[in-house]
Chain A
């Protein structure tokens, strides 16, 4: 069911053979998802889904139409092309049309591992069975989700470009709750190589947090020094690398817009300990070989030592502005140029502060300042005199991400590790560090566990 490079080429060329438009791009994809969900120290649901898809975008006299189907037989593909062409026949001229790419040279990335794609049902059941047993042994109630995903596909343009990629991802998250419901712990990790997914660490960390979180106390909300574990950083700003959109900034509707119709390109908007870049060939976090619009991805730096070094131009906006389209980002990597510190060192150096393991339900409140609200979840601790004093109840925060990374507010940066935002279940990993921040704004308490 998964498409090979040869099949991808054959299907996309067949779609283009049905096209009677001036320009076109045809794509096909295949996907296999295997999942197991457990809760209450019990198996909940488990399943498998294979799927395939095809899509086509056509331009007739600059008018655009797009259609898709999940049936790859000739009649369905032909029908899909007809639907797209019918839309293009009646649509207004696409003012943002840029001709599809001619032949490109891609440098492959390495995000596919055969053993991940073929994980056995029995091995997975045993791994989850062990987690449930450990939860029972430790007197906590375990829940979690294991998912393996394989994707393969590509596209061909009428102007002669062809690309094919495949990838794997396996993720496991575990929540442990004490039986009285007074404490909860959570841990999530994912990897493209199942051999590198440490299922025991994931279970043990969730259980440890639940057990150590018993007896949480409430303290007043307010502005505190915080230490954010990598998971909390991922929840808050996992996709930070994707916010540097040039068009939004130049149109005056972004945190990167500056008064007088200018942008913050070249400004020291962040603390000097902040460097953010994208690298498709990072060994721990391989990205796609193709960036926006199908152009070959390259390593690009968005922020270097606190200075905004690049805004991202898509092919249309680059043409409008006389720039080169930006070959990325395809992932987010936050690595400081300065020294890194362990979470233990961060705690030792803190007179009074709060350690946060995870954030939840984060929603934007003001796009002008990149501000959002959300809550802590599954483990918050008060730090006093260089030590963890006691667990805390949860807080709601209201905080600007750019201001919290602003000059002077980033006190210490940890070593980056692969972690994905928990609302995405680990499907969107980044390389992110733990952070110690001078000030972070908690605005109310939450009794939720």
Chain B
């Protein structure tokens, strides 16, 4: 038996009085593979698509989506915030005279669907006279199906007090370390229930879950006015509440706290050239910024020129440009287990799939959507269209993009063993890269000096700066499958209006030779100098 979402809301107050947090329809829907959040959705979708066609749209789609967000934030021994949010609405996208139009509303009613569809067409028609080159789409097969994120324990069934207790234990472990003054921790859980109907006849329901637990331990030396923090190394994943027991967050918090205290006394790095050994908790973001964004086809087509920027890669370099050393293989994959961008289908009914972006060091392919693929002569899309809300225009977003591990069983110590003068870096720190993705500078959470094949002690204030192809060309060692992790970014911004995307970058530990390292403590002091030249 299924309820409409409105019926759910009306009955949920009663359900809250019982032990179960959610009404039965949610569990039934999960069991079925996706939630049935509005029994009228098919009729509403049919009406929208028929109206769009009648008003002149050559293609149209409607997304009727329901989102839930639960967040808990704590600091030290107190809870700062526990929140539960819900968001429901629909968006209609139309293609009229080769011009896109879009409109969206939270009122999911037959009358509003008519009004919004008409508005989307009006917007397209108002802009069409200035459309110099018409938008065209590559075809995609019709599909009627359901898909859901595989989870062991739906976080939305876990009571708030269990979530709070989990975080306070993390804080307690950090605060138990002498010298730690503060510890903040949080967890955020997102559930997307998405219904997509297209004028090609596709009808898709998806039930997606992802979670983002994190903490930060801070050590303060009040006498000297110094402070240092270490954040959790684990990142967001598409996973249920089992994430909180599969990883030992309490042990990690204690270690992080010890490292924050050590960092106060650690020597600042001496700027210069070093070999770098990069742990997956750090390397994933370097992959994201230096490989993920420049291989987005919309950037190469100048569509992001006004905001995130373009790319040093252009379509004529496909299959030709030496992106990195021959051991570098980077694979896009929207089917990867635990991947934040893993889906059954994208937001225009193209299936999740896997393909090489960099093969044996050569740049070989792009991230595409139905409209961008057409512009480089392709006949299919790789399925990278995404909207972060029912109210957002879907546009090209990054799939999971992962560095492949070595086939041999190479350990982190094996890679360190081959370094005379280097630095081992853990964790996501400060990151900045230019608008065409050439020049980047990345920091981390903890930094360890390597001398003659051994880790000898902690450093601080480390950032490395390089040029994308130089950096990947300097990759001479990859860890094996046993060093592989799948960290990800919960909020990746792009586009105008700005939208957020969640995306993962699996990778092993990896080694890069002779990279420029600077000290963030000594490189930012212009303004205290006596003279400027």
Contact = CB atoms under 8 A, between A and B. Distances in A.
B120 A65 contact: no
Contacts of B520: 365-366, 371, 373, 398
Contact of B126 (A121, A147, A223): A121
A33 B430 contact: no
Interface in A156-184: 173-175, 177, 181, 184
B224 A259 contact: yes
B62 to A, nearest CB: 13
A410 to B, nearest CB: 9
Contact of B84 (A43, A87, A257, A440): A87
Residue among A79, A84, A409 with most chain B CB within 10 A: A79
SS of A interface (majority): strand
Given A50-B105, A132-B132, A399-B526, A251 B160 contact: no
Given A366-B520, A448-B436, A403 B84 contact: no
B524 A403 contact: yes
Contact of A399 (B100, B306, B524): B524
Given A132-B132, A175-B306, A257-B225, A82 B13 contact: yes
Contact of A406 (B80, B82, B527): B527
Contacts of B312: 448
Interface in A26-84: 33, 35-53, 64-71, 73, 75-76, 78-80, 82-84
Contact of A46 (B81, B100, B529): B100
A4 interface: no
Q: What is the size category of the interface that chain B forms with chain A? A: 35 or more
B9 A71 contact: yes
A67 B160 CA distance: 12
Interface in B385-419: 391-393, 395
B120 A141 contact: no
Contact of A144 (B13, B306, B435): B306
Interface in A387-444: 394, 396, 398-400, 403-406, 409, 425, 437-441, 443-444
A252 B225 contact: yes
Contacts of B393: 45, 47
B529 A439 contact: yes
Contacts of B437: 448
B439 interface: yes
B103 A76 contact: no
Given A86-B160, A129-B130, A252 B85 contact: no
B84 A66 contact: yes
B515 to A, nearest CB: 13
Contacts of A112: none
B465 interface: yes
A230 B124 CA distance: 35
Contacts of A445: 439
Contacts of B120: 47-48
B527 A45 contact: no
Contacts of A78: 13
A223 B100 contact: no
Interface string A309-334: 00000000000000000000000000
A52 B527 CA distance: 47
A129 B129 contact: yes
Interface in A356-370: 360-369
Interface stretch (A88-96, A193-201, A282-290, A340-348): A88-96
Interface stretch (B215-223, B244-252, B325-333): B215-223
Residue among B160, B181, B301, B498 with most chain A CB within 10 A: B160
A223 B529 contact: yes
A447 interface: yes
B378 interface: no
Interface string B441-466: 10100000000000000000101010
Given A143-B302, A364-B430, 16 more contacts: A35-B497, A40-B301, A47-B103, A49-B103, A67-B83, A129-B129, A186-B306, A223-B533, A360-B309, A363-B431, A366-B524, A375-B434, A398-B518, A438-B532, A439-B532, A440-B527
The 5 A-B pairs with the shortest beta carbon distances in the complex, nearest first, are A47-B102, A441-B526, A403-B527, A371-B524, A448-B436
